[in-house]
Chain A
């Protein structure tokens, strides 16, 4: 059964109705529940994700916002099941797609989810595409592997997808190689590949970071159109506060492997409920304003092999008090209707209460900066020794053992 969709100038792509086995209940597509991921490296265990939970509904855009090393890409890779293990180990939590825990599935079943159901657009299209195969062949691979199509049919599908993502001269360029396309066009090819099997969830990991602003605008527009056309749930991972403000419905802010705040986009920008979010919003220069000095967040994100006790943000936080420096870290809790924050003082912050004291200024934070490289997990290129794996905890089965 096929459902033709697509209107306007772009040629329509038939959506293959593969939702048979996977039916979302009340539009709830994906639930991530207390996910924990660690990297076992020579320099110790880096706790990249420390209990991350969120959900995603049909047609919704959830932005995961964070700086490098905050664990946003690792979260995406854990959902996709493409973490390199070792060094990465999922030590706890569940990822449920339409109610089923995909972390507990066999590799075979997992492959049936990855691509047709949940798919991903990567940041750097040049390194994500294979340089020795034509782009059309790479897009068509989705149809050959998952749909059992032959070469010519899958090629025809590839051309239609390339037309859908507005690559000019798709029929002629289907045999071209990745290096023959510009950055923006390569990103379109990645998007074509990701939406090929009409997935219900699309994860976009910094899809426009490597692109110029004018091209970024084109790509974000394309993704918005595709999402609307297919009612996809979109997880947008980015560090760009501007892009997020433009497209997100809901925002989850990550810091040191935790979600520190989750709220509706409008509310979050209007009034941040966590000092880190506040710091981020204050530290960006604005195109529409000219200010004097930027109010920077002092210090550095913590090293994930040595996250400070208590709230991980406490060494950089202007409002840190003794309670913030001791375990357990403040839990992510409802601090106002429909908004979550992991801070002891969120209510005071939201109310602009005078009771909230500034206990350390940026200068004082700076004075205590410990030097050292931040976040060993960023980039995921961690030197590992095969010998060092510690007690073998395979995948998710070691849950409960950590923290």
Chain B
């Protein structure tokens, strides 16, 4: 695989103001994203995992520039995304597309499939000439495994898995280079989920796409990703190759997260060592100082609440990968 960087996030920060009182004065900030940096290579899949509220969806929206950053830089193919304006930005948007989580609410119920998948062509008029649009939409439908004759049907006439395929077809319309998949299969049943995961894999091979695959299901993420980043309270706590994260995790949070996933094999019931974390994720409006995980971490010592551990290369036994823990050491959680 070529290791050519296509998308680079540098210290992305997003704080949402909390307003209170009659004057709607800002009384604090929800620190949804607090300094996230990574690189995405051409043709690869970077999985982002974390629990609800960790900022993974905010990250997805920031990469699409659906949210303006509080701070940070996003470079796509050498271009600084957040400083672009007008037509230059619009042109840039073609290259980064998104597939949303809920196929039931992300498609306009009053538009036909043809309108939905063809809408990007209405906005980016120079991509496909008007006469050829319908033809192109039908090709897209075929590409995602839908019957091209269904172009005039409405979303409610399709099942969840089929709707997600429509969402994917829309995402592919402008030949993007990067697709952000925000929980694309979490609303689907297991048997249908596999179909959509396979489709995403197949499309990647065929079109050379790079994916940011955001999900809370660690098994699906392992299946589809080349590299994986683990988020906790608005920060990346660990980032590495799929094998490094799943076989040799060094951050205690990653270890706890992996150990909590039940394996579909009853014979593993007593074999696996489960780390049960106590309590809930603290509020992102008032995150713990220094290492944000120290309030729930069994390894925490004084230094963890004073000195923030940086996301740097730390040894994992066989190699090195990025981990943000003072006491990072590999631990085998899943075989």
| Chain A residues near B (Cβ < 8 Å) | 67-68, 168, 182-185, 212-218, 220-221, 239-246, 248, 265-266, 269-270, 279-281, 283-288, 290-291, 293-298, 300-301, 366, 371-374
User: In the assembly, what is the distance between CA of A291 and CA of B242, in Å?
Assistant: 12
Given the interface pairs A213-B51, A241-B264, the reply to whether A287 lies near B192 with Cβ below 8 Å is no
Say yes or no: B277 contacts A287, CB within 8 Å: no
Main secondary structure of the interface of B (DSSP, over half): helix
User: In the assembly, what is the distance between CA of A294 and CA of B256, in Å?
Assistant: 26
User: In the assembly, what is the distance between CA of A242 and CA of B264, in Å?
Assistant: 4
Given the interface pairs A242-B261, A283-B190, A283-B193, the reply to whether A217 lies near B267 with Cβ below 8 Å is no
Hey, which chain B residues are within 8 Å of A248, CB to CB? 266
Minimum C-beta distance from A198 to chain B (A)? 26
Count contacts on B: residues with CB < 8 A to the other chain. 55
Q: Which of B275-308 contact A (CB under 8 A)?
A: 276-281
Does B268 interact with chain A (Cβ within 8 Å)? yes
Say yes or no: A283 contacts B191, CB within 8 Å: yes
User: In the assembly, what is the distance between CA of A394 and CA of B262, in Å?
Assistant: 43
Hey, which chain A residues are within 8 Å of B258, CB to CB? 287
- Name the residue on A nearest B146 (C-beta): A371
B 202-222 to A, binary, CB cutoff 8 A, 1 in contact else 0: 000000000000001011101
Say yes or no: A372 contacts B198, CB within 8 Å: no
Does B147 interact with chain A (Cβ within 8 Å)? yes
Hey, which chain B residues are within 8 Å of A281, CB to CB? 264
Say yes or no: B195 contacts A182, CB within 8 Å: no
User: In the assembly, what is the distance between CA of A301 and CA of B162, in Å?
Assistant: 13
Of the listed residues A214, A243, A279, A297, the one surrounded by the most CB atoms of chain B closer than 10 A to its CB is A214
Minimum C-beta distance from A135 to chain B (A)? 16
Say yes or no: B194 contacts A290, CB within 8 Å: no
Minimum C-beta distance from A336 to chain B (A)? 17
Does B223 interact with chain A (Cβ within 8 Å)? yes
Say yes or no: B194 contacts A217, CB within 8 Å: no
- Name the residue on B nearest A374 (C-beta): B159
Given the interface pairs A246-B269, A287-B246, the reply to whether A279 lies near B191 with Cβ below 8 Å is yes
Q: A220-B262, A269-B265, A294-B197 are in contact. List 16 more A-B contacts (CB 8 A).
A: A67-B190, A68-B189, A168-B279, A183-B52, A185-B280, A212-B52, A213-B218, A214-B256, A241-B190, A245-B266, A248-B266, A285-B194, A287-B246, A287-B334, A290-B242, A294-B198
Does B174 interact with chain A (Cβ within 8 Å)? no
Name 17 A/B residue pairs within 8 A (Cβ), A-sorted. Answer: A67-B189, A214-B277, A245-B262, A248-B266, A285-B219, A285-B220, A285-B223, A286-B222, A286-B263, A288-B263, A290-B222, A294-B198, A296-B191, A300-B161, A371-B147, A371-B162, A372-B157
- Name the residue on B nearest A185 (C-beta): B280
B 295-335 to A, binary, CB cutoff 8 A, 1 in contact else 0: 00000000000000000000000000000000000000011
Does B143 interact with chain A (Cβ within 8 Å)? no
Say yes or no: B51 contacts A212, CB within 8 Å: yes
Given the interface pairs A269-B264, A285-B197, the reply to whether A214 lies near B159 with Cβ below 8 Å is no
Say yes or no: B334 contacts A184, CB within 8 Å: no
B 75-103 to A, binary, CB cutoff 8 A, 1 in contact else 0: 00000000000000000000000000000
Say yes or no: A280 contacts B222, CB within 8 Å: no
Minimum C-beta distance from A182 to chain B (A)? 5
User: In the assembly, what is the distance between CA of A183 and CA of B279, in Å?
Assistant: 11
User: In the assembly, what is the distance between CA of A246 and CA of B269, in Å?
Assistant: 6
Does B158 interact with chain A (Cβ within 8 Å)? yes
Given the interface pairs A184-B280, A285-B220, A290-B222, the reply to whether A240 lies near B193 with Cβ below 8 Å is no
